[in-house]
Amino acid sequence: MQTLMDVATLKDRLDDAGATGRRTVLLDVRWALGDPHGREHYLAAHLPGAVFVDLAHELAGPADASRGRHPLPSQEQFQASARSWGIRRGDAVVAYDDSGNMAAARLWWMLRNAGLADVYLLDGGLAAWRRAGYAVESGERQAEAGDVELTDGALPVIDAGQAAAWGLGGVLLDARAGERYRGEFEPVDPRAGHIPGAVSAPTTANLDADGKFLSPAALREHFVQLGVRADVPTAVYCGSGVTAAHEIAALEIAGFPAALYPGSFSEWSNNSSNPVVTGAAPYPDQAATYLDGCESQR
């Protein structure tokens, strides 16, 4: 299944829409941790026809210590939002942002999980569109209400109980920055460190200098070095379940299926009974062995 769409392909699809009758819904998911001005960025400049998606309010329910900072909304709430963006039965959907698809991947994953197959990430996002010399527009774009029917559960997820033991028989990837994984810095969650057994796999390693995903071969090599294999189950978490979706997209491009832990570390760290590990090793007593293994792969 195709994950990405490049800007030239999207431009052709939009230019040919009148002749072919193919509808492509463009969704702008401008959001970044610590930047509450996504809508303002969208209003200033966005792809022609793109509708703004409010990640904090449309792609997440209210923050809840027992479910994390960005818990998934109910199926009913998500369907209502998808219809307000103008998605109809049979439409293709292309999501993008201006941060390497770190936010847009949350929408991509949620629509895939809701049963839509014809949904893509715009590789390189707004920056790639602009570099190609294509026009942008400003202001609000209101969509005519759609009629899409969404389901739930098309993609695998795990809960905290499964995450606790996942590293013993599978690969649990932590998609946050390395300093947060190691417990050196934690800007938002109550405790610093990582889930026991997790391997550090920052999402920034999935992208090139232009904010585009690495090639399938390069991504596959990267994940294999982290222990990912076709015969071993893989799961991913991050701070609140947002950038973990980016990691799942990268894994899909590389040919590896993976499950999402939606509550992620914000849920895990709020439960005082859950252990947290600091340092570079997945488990506290494996530091030397793990670091020696890393050195042997260089």
Active site residues: 238
Task: With H, G, I as helix, E, B as strand and everything else as coil, classify residue 268.
Answer: helix
DSSP string, 122-167: ETTHHHHHHHTT---B-S--PPPP------S-SS-B--HHHHHHHH
CA atoms within a 13 Å half-sphere pointing along the CA-CB vector of 170: 18
Task: With H, G, I as helix, E, B as strand and everything else as coil, classify residue 260.
Answer: strand
Backbone angles phi, psi at 237, to 5 degrees: -140, 170
Residues 252, 1 contacting (CB under 8 angstroms): yes
Please state whether 216 falls in left (phi above 0), alpha (psi between -120 and 50) or beta.
alpha
DSSP string, 45-81: SB-TTPEE--HHHHSS---BTTTBSSPPPPHHHHHHH
Backbone angles phi, psi at 73, to 5 degrees: -75, 170
Question: Any idea how long the chain is?
Answer: 298
Nearest to 44 by CA among 64, 28, 60: 28
Calpha distance 262→239 (Å, rounded): 9
